[in-house]
Structure 1
Amino acid sequence: MTLSKNKIKYIRSLELKKNRKAEGVFLAEGHKLVGDLLGHFPCLLLAATPEWFASGKHSSQLPADEIVEVSEEELARASLLKTPQQVLAVFRQPVYPTDTSVIGRSLCLALDGVQDPGNLGTIVRLADWFGIEDIFCSPNTADIYNPKAMQATMGGIAHVKLHYTPLPDLIQTLGADIPVYGTFLDGKNMYGETLSTHGLIVMGNEGNGISPEVSRLINRRLYIPNFPAGRETAESLNVAIATAIVCAEFRRQAPSL
Structure 2
Amino acid sequence: MSSRARHVLITGGSRGIGLAIAQAFAKQSYCCTLISRSTENLETALSTLTPTASSTSRHQYIVGSITSPDFWTTTHFKERGLGKGEDASKIDVLVNCAGITQSRLFTTTPAEDIQSIIDTNLTALMLGTRFLLRNKYLHSTTKSRSEAGPDFTPCIVNVSSLLGVSGGYGAVAYAASKAGVLGFTRALAAEYVGHGVRVNAIVPGYVESDMTKGLNTSQLQDRILLKRFGKPEEVAHAALFLAENQYAHNCVLNLDGGLSAV
Instruction: Please indicate, yes or no, whether the TM-score normalized by the shorter chain is above 0.5.
Output: no
> 1 or 2, which has the higher strand percentage?
1
Q: Highest CA radius of gyration, 1 or 2? A: 1
> 1 or 2, which has the higher helix percentage?
2
For the aligned pair, the TM-score class normalised by the smaller chain equals: 0.3 to 0.5
